[in-house]
Structure 1
């Protein structure tokens, strides 16, 4: 591994960032403290160096020609493999599980709902992603975007990461809100006199909603959006 890193001319911290392997994990591998890295970490390093997992583990020879990773001019670059997981898959050292906001009925058949953090269904996140966004784990949660009001930026089904410690309204930023029991992801703007404007990206079909200074009685800000992921 030391030979591969030396060939790139990069520091281990750069390799860790670009290969999406945590710095602590890579450091322990290089120091011999992790004798048998997980298949997921090996797959990331193999993809980064353009080798097979067996070559990274030393089961196959790399040969005299050590692959060098140099900046290319492509607009798209693959950074690694997707690894499937379920509730029984152990967390990696650089992963955390975040709760998921959802709506629940207050009373069966009433049609009234409230927004809660569902600690049963969770999503996995890399600790590095949270650190980069400046979000503490205990203040992080996730939510799904429902409907087409936030298209084309946030299509139906988009997952967003929420910083629940950041509820101060900054004009034009995205927030997850509890609007009379409805879970919504919207842009918020302050209005003169203490009002609040709720804005959708799809302005053609969803005009602005302006609320008066008593808006806190209707809207509870759950947190500011710091990350999003979309399936196409």
Structure 2
């Protein structure tokens, strides 16, 4: 399936799920997602714009489905048709229990289905105003399942893990969050997160292309960190390190 056909299929999925959820208009769905304009939903449903992973998660939460159903559809619905609207339910299961943990340390051999990515713990990719402090942490590695990388179309040789600091990307990326970066993907897809070198500051931000060739830098915590606009003549200030394909954060029990 080509990229244009895929966008159209995803658009059909969104429209079908919106109708199933009893959301009658694109404007209502946009409002529930926290988006200012109806046009984003309109473009998605028309198949003229690719849905970012972040937006797929937002849509899935509002519509009460998984991001996979947004992007790939329900296997029982193969014709992409719009079903009869259903009333939204208030009770749902959004988790699956997987009992137990496999414990391992630096001496534990990798399994056949694992790879070890370099983990630069002390490279601070600041989610606030940025940081120039760069120091490797003695060969530390983070284990990944090969299937995890395959799902995101990431090759191990181009991937690395780092930690994020600051609060500008909250609530999605809290201070101390670990992110995986694919250094082979540097082309901007609107709304995706990237690790960037911004005039010597290492940062994790959402990027958008602007008319005329500029770049808009956006934080989730938009109240404290307003959008930044890089005009075309200043693009030499920005170096895209890579696309953020994965993140994980550890909660700490404070009781």
Whether TM-score is above 0.5 comes out as: yes
Shorter-chain TM-score: what band? 0.5 to 0.7
Structure 2 distance, partners of 1:160, 1:78, is 24
- Out of 193, 200, 205, the position equivalent to 2:212 is 193
- Report which of the two has the higher share of strand: 1
Give runs of aligned pairs for residues 113-152 of structure 1, distance below 5 A: 113=132, 120-152=139-171
Q: Deviations over 1:185-219 (max 9, x none)?
A: 10001112221111100001001111121444222
- Out of 100, 103, 116, the position equivalent to 1:97 is 116
CA RMSD of aligned residues (A): 2.5
Q: For structure 2, list consecutive stretches of 5 or more residues without a partner in the other structure.
A: 1-91, 125-130
1:160 alignment counterpart: 179
Structure 2 distance, partners of 1:116, 1:193, is 36
The question of 1:75 aligning with 2:75 is answered no
Give 1:94 shift.
Answer: 1.2
Cα distance change, pair 170–101 in 1 and its aligned pair in 2 (3 A)? farther
Query: How many positions carry a matched residue from both structures?
Result: 154
Whether the 8 Å contact between 1:103 and 1:182 is mirrored in structure 2 is no
- Out of 183, 191, 216, the position equivalent to 2:202 is 183
SS in 1 for 2:195: strand
TM-score, length of structure 2 as denominator length: 0.54
Larger radius of gyration: 1
SS in 2 for 1:129: helix
Structure 2 distance, partners of 1:215, 1:103, is 29
Q: Deviations over 1:112-151 (max 9, x none)?
A: 9375776722211111101111111111111222111000
Q: For structure 1, list consecutive stretches of 5 or more residues without a partner in the other structure.
A: 1-72, 106-111
